[in-house]
């Protein structure tokens, strides 16, 4: 909306002042106001994007070694570890984004009912989100500790045998079916239990944020809609299904977009939970090596700067592709007033 | 806002309040959820008071409230230095962000200039750039500028915050045109108008922007991790990540360190909870 308005303003003033010295002077003064922010953005946002592409076309260690064209990209596409990292990233995204949004929607919906102590509930749900992922991941790492952790202690109370969590490279489906004595093929093993532990942490961490957004969106639904539907005899489920859900779709769409972009870039908590678990960064057996972790490892661990840049670029295109796809398919389902 | 929400939610559940069973389930689900949300923090604080024996024996409640773990953690790694670094970097970042984004936000909101719309869209487009793609070149740029392992390296890349510019622009646009016309009639320049009229009016947005940027800076990890090489330059999150490895099996000491790391932000959150949640909502709904 505001973009269109300023466009009109601009066109108008352009017509009136096309060769006006005063307009140029005015523009110059405005540029001075923009200068500090623009400088930072140019040096640390715009230039790096081009520079990153330039680096990706080179064999580059600490310094530039040689121009090699698109060889880094070809190398990435034939690198099984890179493909493995993409698979793990997909597990991570699919395993966290929908669950977080569904749980948050339920919590927000319940909180929105006539609830005593709503603000206290909201405060508690929001607490994980404000704490740093480094500190809270360190806490969760110990909660999942096989020997002294809280989760295994709770499992034992429920007479379930303790699990190795962050040290468990086996897929979760393999473990589940294995307990029932059923062997399953390798491709169907699912994410490793270590990755599942990371995902549980992520869901815990982001629920408060999604809930807050949903709560705000629920507050924006006109109550007349509910009243009208109730007069027509709609029951609670029908109200939720045909009014609340469609009216929330812009918020849901926004949260999915943010979550998708965010989880493709997830790093901090995976780094902390794996590097300190005794299983090495991205471990065990690389089953938590998402693409971001793999890029970091190639860049910071093995100083393969050119190769890491090429993979970062591929990841960027994947994120962009997902965002465009989601926009294309999501846009049709979103209900705008 | 709150009142409006209350009235509306009254509307929804007016007829339902007699069904106490469904209300019971609502409270049950919410309470269980809230308990899961807060349990890690409770466990963290309880563990920070335990001794090694109690950690191994998986006792829930420590036999006594002992602060020795805090003292040990505090002395095992240079935590005072970590905190000082973080505080310095976060404060400087906030000041930098405020200066750049107030000026730019004002220009976009109240000034007329050539290429305004195009520049604004260019600014906004930087929010789409994923962090990994600029991480490596920024690392090299910072090294070339001779800023590797300095505070400036942790501050400067983050003082151009498009999100903050956007918030200020939105707010300055809402100031009535009459104020500005009256001020210019009295010979007031843009800068004086901004300083004496626009800024005092924008206190809530100032607090929101400052708060969010402070917390982002406080919690930032990956960038300071790669841009610092010496222990004495590390901010708290990086320090804590090393301590996580160093602490080994001493969970009680690690939990004490984690509590110390989380504490300042939680304290801040309790004091300015309202602005905080409003800020996140604005960030969410408009960003």
CATH number at residue A320: 1.10.3720.10
DSSP 8-state code for residue A187 = G
Same domain, A55 and A108: no
pLDDT higher than threshold 60 for residue B65: yes
Q: Which residue has the higher pLDDT, A47 or B7?
A: A47
pLDDT higher than threshold 80 for residue B12: no
Residue of A nearest to B255 (CA): A139
Helix extents (H) in B202-272? 203-219, 222-227, 236-246, 251-271
- Among A52-61, A145-154, B172-181, B268-277, which range has the highest average pLDDT? A52-61
What is the reported pLDDT for A2? 43
Q: For residue A146, is it within any domain? A: yes
Q: Which residue has the higher pLDDT, B52 or B1?
A: B52
Same domain, A27 and A68: yes
Same domain, A60 and A158: no
Residue of A nearest to B2 (CA): A219
Instruction: Report the residue of A114, A220, A279, A295 to disrupt the B interface, i.e. the one with the largest count of B CBs within 10 Å.
Output: A114
The shortest CB-CB distance from A51 to any of B39, B137, B265 is to B137
Gyration radius of chain A's alpha carbons:
25
Q: For residue A5, is it within any domain? A: no
A58 strand-pairing partners: A67
Is B232 in contact with B78 (CB distance < 8 Å)? Answer: yes
Comparing CA positions, the residue from A235, A219, A114 lying closest to residue B26 is A114
Q: Which residue has the higher pLDDT, B281 or A12?
A: B281
The shortest CB-CB distance from B34 to any of A121, A218, A315 is to A121
Q: For residue A56, is it within any domain? A: yes
Is B141 close to A43, i.e. CB distance below 8 A? yes
Same domain, A65 and A204: no
Among candidate residues A55, A72, A89, the one where a domain is terminated: A72
The shortest CB-CB distance from A216 to any of B132, B218, B285 is to B285
Least confident segment among B109-113, B187-191, B240-244: B187-191
Q: For residue A15, is it within any domain? A: no
Distance of alpha carbon A276 from the chain centroid: 23
Same domain, A60 and A174: no
Least confident segment among A202-206, A239-243, B186-190, B260-264: B186-190
pLDDT higher than threshold 50 for residue B10: no
A-B interface: how many C-beta pairs under 8 angstroms?
302
Distance of alpha carbon A53 from the chain centroid: 24
Average pLDDT, chain B: 88
What residues contact residue B178 under an 8 Å CB cut-off, 6+ apart? none
Instruction: Report the residue of B28, B136, B143, B265 to disrupt the A interface, i.e. the one with the largest count of A CBs within 10 Å.
Output: B136
Same domain, A144 and A273: yes
Same domain, A159 and A49: no
The shortest CB-CB distance from B137 to any of A52, A207, A268 is to A52
Chain B residues in contact with A259 (beta carbon < 8 A): none
A56-81: b (≥16 Cβ within 10 Å) or e: bbbebeeeeeeebeebbbebbeeeee
pLDDT higher than threshold 70 for residue B285: no
Chain B residues in contact with A47 (beta carbon < 8 A): 137, 141
pLDDT higher than threshold 80 for residue B14: no
Q: Domains in chain A: how many in total?
A: 2
Is B206 in contact with B115 (CB distance < 8 Å)? Answer: no
Low-confidence ranges of chain A (pLDDT < 50): 1-8, 10, 13, 17
The Cα of A109 is separated from the nearest Cα of chain B by a number of Å equal to 10
Is A47 close to B219, i.e. CB distance below 8 A? no
Same domain, A100 and A137: yes
C-alpha–C-alpha distance, residues A263 and A133, integer Å: 13
pLDDT higher than threshold 80 for residue B15: no
Which domain does A248 fall in, by range?
75-333
Same domain, A137 and A212: yes
What is the reported pLDDT for B42? 96
Domains of chain B, start order: 21-66 (no CATH), 77-286 (1.10.3720.10)
DSSP 8-state code for residue A221 = S
What is the reported pLDDT for B18? 54
Same domain, A60 and A171: no
Q: For residue A173, is it within any domain? A: yes
pTM of the model: 0.89
Is A90 in contact with A319 (CB distance < 8 Å)? Answer: no
Q: For residue A147, is it within any domain? A: yes
The shortest CB-CB distance from A113 to any of B9, B123, B226 is to B9
Same domain, A145 and A102: yes
Chain B residues in contact with A37 (beta carbon < 8 A): 100-101, 103-104, 123, 160, 165
Q: For residue A129, is it within any domain? A: yes
For chain A, the residue count is 337
Same domain, A180 and A33: no
Is A135 close to B27, i.e. CB distance below 8 A? no
The shortest CB-CB distance from B101 to any of A37, A132, A221 is to A37
What is the reported pLDDT for A16? 52
What is the reported pLDDT for A331? 74
| Nearest 10 degrees: Cα torsion A213, A214, A220, A222 | 180
Among candidate residues A11, A45, A72, the one where a domain is terminated: A72
Is B4 close to A219, i.e. CB distance below 8 A? yes
For chain B, the residue count is 287
Q: For residue A7, is it within any domain? A: no
The Cα of A183 is separated from the nearest Cα of chain B by a number of Å equal to 34
Is A115 close to B26, i.e. CB distance below 8 A? yes
Phi/psi zone of residue B149: left (φ > 0), alpha (ψ -120 to 50 degrees), beta? left
Is A45 close to B262, i.e. CB distance below 8 A? no
pLDDT higher than threshold 50 for residue B11: no
């Amino acid at each position: 909306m505001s973009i269109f308005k300023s466009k009109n303003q601009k066109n108008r003033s352009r017509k009136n002042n096309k060769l006006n010295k005063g307009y140029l002077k005015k523009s110059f003064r405005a540029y001075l106001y923009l200068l500090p922010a623009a400088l930072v953005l140019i040096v640390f946002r715009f230039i790096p994007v081009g520079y990153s592409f330039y680096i990706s076309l080179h064999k580059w260690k600490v310094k530039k070694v040689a121009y090699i064209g698109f060889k880094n990209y070809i190398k990435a596409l034939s690198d099984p570890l890179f493909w493995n990292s993409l698979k793990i990233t997909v597990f991570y995204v699919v395993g966290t984004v929908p669950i977080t949004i569904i749980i948050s929607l339920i919590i927000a919906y319940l909180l929105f009912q006539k609830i005593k102590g709503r603000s206290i509930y909201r405060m508690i749900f929001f607490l994980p989100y404000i704490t740093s992922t480094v500190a809270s991941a360190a806490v969760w790492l110990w909660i999942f500790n096989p020997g002294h952790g809280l989760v295994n202690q709770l499992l034992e109370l429920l007479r379930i045998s303790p699990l190795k969590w962050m040290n468990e490279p086996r897929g979760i489906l393999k473990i589940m079916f294995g307990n029932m004595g059923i062997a399953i093929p390798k491709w169907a093993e699912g994410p490793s239990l270590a990755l599942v532990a990371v995902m549980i942490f992520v869901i815990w961490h982001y629920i408060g944020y999604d809930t807050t957004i949903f709560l705000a969106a629920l507050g924006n639904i006109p109550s007349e809609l509910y009243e009208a539907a109730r007069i027509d005899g709609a029951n609670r489920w029908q109200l939720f299904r045909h009014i609340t859900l469609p009216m929330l779709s812009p918020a849901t769409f926004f949260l999915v977009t943010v979550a998708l972009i965010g989880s493709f870039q997830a790093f901090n908590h995976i780094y902390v939970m794996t590097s300190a678990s005794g299983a090495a960064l991205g471990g065990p057996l690389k089953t938590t090596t998402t693409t971001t972790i793999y890029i970091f490892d190639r860049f910071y661990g093995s100083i393969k700067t050119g190769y890491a840049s090429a993979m970062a670029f591929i990841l960027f295109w994947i994120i962009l592709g997902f965002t465009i796809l989601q926009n294309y398919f999501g846009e049709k389902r979103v209900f705008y007033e | 806002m709150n009142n409006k929400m209350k009235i509306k939610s009254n509307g929804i559940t007016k007829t339902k309040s007699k069904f106490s069973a469904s209300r019971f389930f609502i409270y049950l689900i919410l309470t269980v959820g809230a308990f899961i949300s807060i349990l890690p923090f409770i466990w963290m604080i309880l563990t920070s008071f335990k001794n090694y024996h109690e950690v191994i024996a998986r006792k829930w409640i420590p036999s006594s409230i002992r602060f020795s773990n805090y003292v040990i953690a505090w002395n095992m790694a240079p935590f005072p230095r970590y905190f000082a670094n973080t505080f310095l970097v976060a404060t400087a970042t906030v000041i930098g962000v405020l200066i750049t984004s107030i000026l730019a936000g004002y220009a976009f909101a109240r000034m007329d200039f050539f290429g305004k719309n195009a520049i604004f869209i260019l600014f906004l487009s930087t929010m789409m750039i994923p962090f990994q793609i600029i991480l490596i070149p920024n690392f090299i740029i910072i090294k070339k500028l001779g800023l590797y392992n300095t505070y400036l390296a942790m501050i400067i890349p983050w003082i151009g915050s498009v999100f903050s510019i956007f918030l200020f622009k939105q707010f300055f646009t809402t100031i009535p045109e009459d104020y500005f016309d009256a001020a210019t009639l009295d010979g007031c320049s843009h800068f004086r108008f901004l300083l004496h009229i626009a800024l005092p009016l924008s206190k809530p947005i100032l607090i929101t922007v400052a708060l969010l940027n402070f917390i982002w800076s406080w919690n930032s990890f990956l960038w300071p991790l790669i841009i610092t090489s010496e222990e004495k330059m590390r901010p708290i999150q990086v320090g804590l990540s090393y301590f996580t490895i160093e602490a080994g099996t001493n969970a009680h000491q690690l939990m004490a360190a984690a509590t110390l790391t989380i504490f300042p932000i939680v304290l801040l959150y309790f004091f300015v909870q309202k602005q905080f949640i409003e800020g996140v909502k604005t960030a969410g709904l408009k960003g």
